[in-house]
Structure 1
Amino acid sequence: MSHVVTFDEEDVQYMPFFSFVKLVEMSQHKQIHAQLLRTSLFFTAFTASKIVALCAPEDSGSLNYARLVLSQISNPTIYTCNSIIRGYTNWHCPREAILFYREMIFNGFEADRFTFPSLFKYCEDLHEGKQLYNHSIKLGFASNSYVQNTLMNMYSNCGCLVSARKKFKKIAERTVVSWATMIGAYAQWNQPTEAFELFDRMMSENVKPNEVTLVNVLNARAKARDLETAKHMHNYVDESGFGCHAKLNTALMDVYCKCVSVLLARDLFDKMPEKYLFCLNVVINGHVNDSDYKEAFLLFREMQLKGEKGDKVTMISLLLACSHLGALELGKWLHAYIKKEKIEVDATLGTTLVDMYAKCGGIESAINVFQQLPEKDVMTWTALITGLTMCGEEEMALEYFHEMRISGVKPYAVTFVGVLAACSHADLADDGISHFNSMSSMYGIKPSIDHYGCMVDLLDPAGRIGEAEELIRKMPIPPDRFVRRGLLGACRIHGNLKVAERAAQQLLELDSENEGTLIEIDGIVHEFVKGDSSHPQVTEINRMLDDMSNRLKEAGYVPERSEVRDCT
């Protein structure tokens, strides 16, 4: 059954009033709701629908309140239902939006052309997205440009860029929104070249870009780390009259920061007449990534003096700065600030707190934060495991890894770097080998150069030089100089001259132009051959040593032998 919105004369007289109440806060919306109940006005479909529409976009708590109001309406309209769906999608709850849509259809409501765009906007399930699309076709809305544009967005969210491109090509009359959506899809999936080409084509067809189009193009520029083109885009933004748009300026600042031109971003920020928090967060993060931690905190302090408050994004950037600085007390202050300002500690912020405490040596605090988190993702576990390893608590790190697997959380490749390092530090070679083998057999993770480096470090202290050399020989990826140096260092410790010769030669071939490598090999080989003529290949070894010594002299290096005792 189809529910059509109708307003009687009594409803119309309250329209100006509801235009005004859009400006008030949630607490005032509830007061208005109470007043309508007291005056019996609430029981009209129009006033009830307006209350739902006002509450739904506010926040998750207000959305629950809107659902409660909806349940009290005897004859809700599709307008009211669409408000709930928009509320869910605004708060990035696509699953809840689709469940509500199904409930709506079950109760006899018929979707209109405003229903599907909200559903498609944040849908990340391709199967459900296709079902919604088929339903929109049956209802005759598939050709609607608004629906088509959000359908492209749905395909992009699901990673189906080919389907998004096909849909774009089939649109008979492309609006600027169509172009902006497709450009945004390319930028989202790290295809900046295609985004630029489509933007150039759009301009050649005399389609004037809007703010969203330019933001998407700038996002693509940021991923391409293309500074010069970004500067040209900056000029175009100013010349086209978009220079006062905060979101565009923020996208420009993001490009500059990612192109390691934080000063250009800061200059743009300082010139902005209104400095919004999301703009400030980009610049603070830019300073942190540029290792200019002092300036990041000064900017935050300046924000505080103006009465502004930081949010989750601000805290994550500043906590990362504390991690790099090892500034435990400053990190504790930020944690106290988070509690004071009642900033929600989700998995992302919680992980950053755990990482900060661990890297600053506050391992007890890291564990306390970890245990108090209601939700822990794989990165939260990884941060704690890595932090415990760094702080010399290898056995505890391995215990948490065991607990992580029991809880059903699938480890990432980076998790195993911490686990293998813990096994190495704890001299648990066999356990490390077992974990290394489980990476591919149980989790389908291909070991990277970091994992192989950990394995060499794991086998070398145990004196298993032959196994380490064999592992390097069978590596599916070329070993780097750090892996080779690890093996060579172990040979020095355990006096394995035979493997040391091969390792030194391979390291020399790999990194012969690096003066540090020559110095390292010179020192190690000198320890082996000083006064020793018993080796059957002593002539070849000495010739190699003479060759390296000549290279070192050309580089201006003078070996220090004062600490080497002559035992001849």
Structure 2
Amino acid sequence: MLKLAKSLALLVCGRERLRFLSTSAAAAAAAAASANQETALNPHTHLQYPLDSVHAQVTVSGLLHNLAVANKLLYVYAQHRALDDAYALFGMMEERDAVSWSIMVGGFAKVGDYVYCLRTFRKLIRCGVKLDNYTLPIVLRACRDRMDPVMGRLVHGVVLKSGLCLDQCVLAALISLYAKCRVKNDARILFDEMPNRDLVTWTVMINAYAESGNAKESLALFDLMRDEGLVPDNVAMVTIVHACAKLGAMHKARLVHDYISRMGFKLDVILGTAMIDMYAKCGSVDYAREIFDRMWERNVISWSAMIAAYGYHGQGKKALDLFPMMLGSRILPNRITFLSLLYACSHAGLVDMGLELFNMMWDEYSVKPDVKHYTCMVDLLGRAGRLDEAMNLIENMTVKKDEGLWGAMLGACRIHKNIDLAEKIANSLLELQSQNAGHYVLLSNIYAKAGRWEDVAKIRDLITERELKKVPGWTCIEVENKIYQFGVGDKSHHLSKEIYRLLRSLRRKMELAGYVPDTNLVLHDVDEEVKLESLFMHSEKLAIVFGLIATTEGTPIRITKNLRVCGDCHTFSKFVSAITHRVIIARDTNRFHHFKEGVCSCGDYW
């Protein structure tokens, strides 16, 4: 009996303040908890025997008036997601303490019922119950999971009033909240003010910068963390590898890989898959494949990551070759696998194979296509010029259409200069009240190419009216373990004079070699000379020329663009690779381009 009583006590919130029960009711409740742990229970439903009978026995014996017994019974209900039963019991309790309230707040959070979680927390405050470092983190995590920084700030105010603003658990939850909600400045202020920062807090902060697009700061924090003597675990290393992948910096990737090897981290499925993604996004699909081949265990995510790596490097056939190997390893494909395969087909122009895989998804593997799979198919057909088939696919699809789908179709219209269809697609996009300025700019560009300047003006007015802002373009390049970022017409670099001098020299050599600037891409009704100057100030060109100056002759130049590389910069890169005999590896939002001796790996199919 004592053993059973202890089992139940250990279940209760992990709190030492709840003493062991030695009553027969406690023992019975423990037995009920143990039995129910082996029973599949649905959330929000009533528990079955034996806990119902224990509840009845506790009630009949009068022990339900014992707060400790009632709390333990309440906890078992909450742990098994029977919130209807828990809430009914909570409502009948004559006496409640901080533990009772914490159990209910945590129970609602556990099943994802954040409305009742926050509502119960508000009642807790109104009842004057003293807050602790158990309940507050639960509520803050609820705000985080529902991406609600406004409510989070209100709870932060409660934290300040409760005097727990320096508590390690509460601060970690606040940092996680602000980081997940992309309020990284507030997260960093709290992080810097923490008296003691544990590994979890460092990992949360590093991940916050990576997710918000500031991978450079993520890696700087990693270096600072090691300087303070903290040794990362596998979870922290996955976060660092993820940041490297976001940044696309090969030198950083190699340093992180060396650190992983030196510290003896196990190349498990999670870390190994993250490293595959890191190397692929840093421009080396060969290094990614080396990691893949070294992994002792691979799951469907590992295989999908390797397939995707080949896909966005334009090696569609190698991506497809992995699929039968994956099936031979008795790994069944999922929606991500098919998404990676269709993406690979799209960027390699493998239309028939893409159609076959799309039909195979449901017929052979019972994987239902979602809007992302349809978007890949629209992109595949659209790039190949089969616009009518792409439109038929859109019109007959049963899943809800989104702006990504229409954006892919609009991009196909741009490639094949189909203005009438572009207008039709644009209307569908505008009906969605899209806040993506890129779609409006793309339509404006289509009109401008056709010389329809009045329509261009209308689109620009619409952008102004809806207060949309185009994401400014930038290009990064890593030189000697340092990341340099260039914007359009950037002259802030200390080597700007040398960069522009070499750019003018290259321009003359390229024109002699047959290069003709595509001023149609400078879509403004301005003089040709102004168009040329604007074209030669693109961030990709500046980064490439800086790479020629700052890196050793014969080494590859690796750049990362935050937007899609423009057609003229693509042509420029081909000519530069031929004139300088340098390999240029460019990563944009869609894929990788490997330029060598005047040829691009994409075969100009992009």
**TM-score, with normalisation over the residues of structure 2?**
0.62
Q: Cα offset for 1:398?
A: 0.7
Q: Cα offset for 1:157?
A: 2.7
> What letter matches 1:355 in structure 2?
D
| Residue 412 (structure 1) aligns with | 437
Distance 1:282 1:159, change over 3 A: same
Distance 1:37 1:411, change over 3 A: same
Paired with 1:387 and 1:167, the residues of 2 have a C-alpha distance of 46
2:234 to 211, 214, 218: 211
> What letter matches 2:48 in structure 1?
L
Q: Does 1:292 align with 2:325?
A: no
Identity value in percent: 19
Report 1:459-474 matches (<5 A): 468-470=525-527
> What letter matches 2:379 in structure 1?
D
Paired with 2:43 and 2:206, the residues of 1 have a C-alpha distance of 44
Paired with 1:156 and 1:239, the residues of 2 have a C-alpha distance of 30
Distance 1:331 1:43, change over 3 A: farther
Paired with 2:268 and 2:151, the residues of 1 have a C-alpha distance of 36
| Residue 380 (structure 1) aligns with | 405
Distance 1:339 1:146, change over 3 A: farther
| Residue 306 (structure 1) aligns with | 329
Distance 1:377 1:72, change over 3 A: farther
| Residue 435 (structure 1) aligns with | 459
Paired with 1:276 and 1:258, the residues of 2 have a C-alpha distance of 20
User: 2:106–2:138: 8 Å Cα contact kept in structure 1?
Assistant: yes
Q: Does 1:105 align with 2:121?
A: yes
Q: Any idea what the Cα deviations from partners look like across 1:82-106, whole Å, max 9, x if unmatched? A: 2442443xxxxxxx63x23233235
| Residue 244 (structure 2) aligns with | 221
Q: Any idea what the Cα deviations from partners look like across 1:496-525, whole Å, max 9, x if unmatched? A: xxxxxxxxxxx9xx99x9699xxxxxxxxx
Q: Any idea what the Cα deviations from partners look like across 1:466-485, whole Å, max 9, x if unmatched? A: x9444x56669713499xxx
| Residue 266 (structure 1) aligns with | 289
Distance 1:439 1:371, change over 3 A: farther
Q: Any idea what the Cα deviations from partners look like across 1:415-438, whole Å, max 9, x if unmatched? A: 43246426756x756434533554
SS in 2 for 1:237: helix
31-40 vs 216-225, which moves further? 31-40
> What letter matches 2:359 in structure 1?
A
Q: Cα offset for 1:167?
A: 0.8
> What letter matches 1:326 in structure 2?
G
131-140 vs 248-257, which moves further? 131-140
| Residue 375 (structure 2) aligns with | 351
| Residue 12 (structure 1) aligns with | 30
Report 1:12-51 matches (<5 A): 12-20=30-38, 28-30=40-42, 36=48, 40-41=52-53
Q: Cα offset for 1:131?
A: 1.0
Q: Which runs of 5+ in 2 are unaligned?
A: 1-11, 57-69, 93-99, 474-516, 539-567, 578-606
Paired with 1:404 and 1:250, the residues of 2 have a C-alpha distance of 36
SS in 1 for 2:535: coil
> What letter matches 1:79 in structure 2?
I
User: 2:312–2:347: 8 Å Cα contact kept in structure 1?
Assistant: no
Q: Cα offset for 1:447?
A: 10
| Residue 320 (structure 1) aligns with | 343
User: 1:363–1:391: 8 Å Cα contact kept in structure 2?
Assistant: no
Paired with 2:232 and 2:525, the residues of 1 have a C-alpha distance of 58
| Residue 421 (structure 1) aligns with | 446
> What letter matches 1:238 in structure 2?
S
Q: Cα offset for 1:53?
A: 4.2
SS in 2 for 1:36: coil
User: 1:152–1:181: 8 Å Cα contact kept in structure 2?
Assistant: yes
Report 1:66-465 matches (<5 A): 78-79=102-103, 81-88=105-112, 97=114, 99-105=115-121, 112-122=135-145, 124-139=147-162, 141-340=164-363, 341-343=365-367, 345-360=369-384, 361=386, 363-369=388-394, 372=397, 374-388=399-413, 390=415, 393-418=418-443, 420-421=445-446, 424=449, 430-436=454-460, 438-440=462-464, 442-445=466-469, 456=520
Paired with 1:40 and 1:87, the residues of 2 have a C-alpha distance of 21
Q: Cα offset for 1:115?
A: 1.3
> What letter matches 1:173 in structure 2?
N
Paired with 2:44 and 2:458, the residues of 1 have a C-alpha distance of 65
Q: Cα offset for 1:294?
A: 1.5
387-396 vs 330-339, which moves further? 387-396
Distance 1:432 1:105, change over 3 A: same
User: 2:522–2:531: 8 Å Cα contact kept in structure 1?
Assistant: no
Cα RMSD (Å):
4.4
1:478 to 526, 534, 550: 534
Paired with 2:77 and 2:332, the residues of 1 have a C-alpha distance of 30
Paired with 1:375 and 1:13, the residues of 2 have a C-alpha distance of 48
Paired with 1:20 and 1:393, the residues of 2 have a C-alpha distance of 62
More helix by share: 1
User: 1:187–1:220: 8 Å Cα contact kept in structure 2?
Assistant: yes
| Residue 591 (structure 2) aligns with | none
Paired with 1:288 and 1:401, the residues of 2 have a C-alpha distance of 28
| Residue 502 (structure 1) aligns with | none
Paired with 2:529 and 2:73, the residues of 1 have a C-alpha distance of 75
SS in 1 for 2:202: helix
| Residue 538 (structure 1) aligns with | none
> What letter matches 1:12 in structure 2?
A
Q: Any idea what the Cα deviations from partners look like across 1:132-176, whole Å, max 9, x if unmatched? A: 222334455443322211211222233333322221122112211
Count how many residue pairs are aligned between Structure 1 and Structure 2.
Answer: 452
Paired with 1:444 and 1:31, the residues of 2 have a C-alpha distance of 43
Paired with 1:420 and 1:445, the residues of 2 have a C-alpha distance of 16
Q: Any idea what the Cα deviations from partners look like across 1:254-294, whole Å, max 9, x if unmatched? A: 22111222222222222222212222222221111221112
Distance 1:435 1:322, change over 3 A: same
Paired with 2:345 and 2:294, the residues of 1 have a C-alpha distance of 28
**Per chain length, whose mean CA-contact separation is higher, i.e. which structure has more relative contact order (CA < 8 Å, sep 6+)?**
2
> What letter matches 1:254 in structure 2?
D
Q: Which runs of 5+ in 1 are unaligned?
A: 22-27, 56-65, 89-95, 460-466, 483-506, 517-568
Paired with 2:145 and 2:194, the residues of 1 have a C-alpha distance of 21
User: 1:257–1:265: 8 Å Cα contact kept in structure 2?
Assistant: yes
Distance 1:367 1:422, change over 3 A: farther
> What letter matches 1:13 in structure 2?
A
Paired with 1:477 and 1:83, the residues of 2 have a C-alpha distance of 63
User: 1:176–1:209: 8 Å Cα contact kept in structure 2?
Assistant: yes
Paired with 1:443 and 1:345, the residues of 2 have a C-alpha distance of 35
Q: Any idea what the Cα deviations from partners look like across 1:231-255, whole Å, max 9, x if unmatched? A: 3322332343322433222222222
> What letter matches 1:298 in structure 2?
D
Bigger Rg over Cα: 1
> What letter matches 2:189 in structure 1?
K
> What letter matches 2:147 in structure 1?
E
> What letter matches 2:257 in structure 1?
H
User: 2:207–2:239: 8 Å Cα contact kept in structure 1?
Assistant: yes
Paired with 1:38 and 1:374, the residues of 2 have a C-alpha distance of 44
> What letter matches 2:41 in structure 1?
H
Paired with 1:176 and 1:332, the residues of 2 have a C-alpha distance of 47
Paired with 2:439 and 2:43, the residues of 1 have a C-alpha distance of 51
**TM-score, with normalisation over the residues of structure 1?**
0.66
339-348 vs 170-179, which moves further? 339-348
